[in-house]
Amino acid sequence: MMMAHDSSSPPPSRLDDDTVAAVRDGLRAYLSNPAHTAPLQEALLRVSAEARERALLPEQLLIVLKGIWGTLPEVRAMTDATEQVRLLQRVVTMCIKEYYSA
């Protein structure tokens, strides 16, 4: 049974700076070689575990992930919008799988 999020509860704690940096590094490695996903998967596993520990909802985690994605110079330099969306969709899928894997 799904329950509505209690908007009166305090906002979740933010993620550790080291975790955000690991995600940024994982995304950059992924962008340089999309076929090699191990560094990104490791970072997503870490951020997902921390998000669950801090009671972040999956949609809150995805907002953080997309925020990090949007700040990357490699993403901003991409000229093929379709490719950018395809890569981001793959990252989101990996993140959701990691979030629910434990």
Any domain includes 3: no
Give the total number of structural domains in the chain: 1
Any domain includes 8: no
Burial class of 40 by CB neighbour count within 10 A (0 to 12, 13 to 18, 19+): buried
The predicted-structure confidence for 4-57, as pLDDT tens digits, reads as follows 544 444 444 589 999 999 999 999 999 999 999 999 999 999 999 999 999 999
pLDDT at residue 7, as a whole number: 47
> 């997309």: which residue's tokens?
66
Question: 10 Å Cβ neighbour count for 43?
Answer: 25
Cα 51 from Cα 20, distance rounded (Å): 11
State the Cα torsion 8-66-56-93 to the nearest 10°: 130
For 31, the domain range is 17-101
Any domain includes 57: yes
The predicted-structure confidence for 64-96, as pLDDT tens digits, reads as follows 999 999 999 999 999 999 999 999 999 999 999
* CA–centroid distance for 49 within its chain: 12
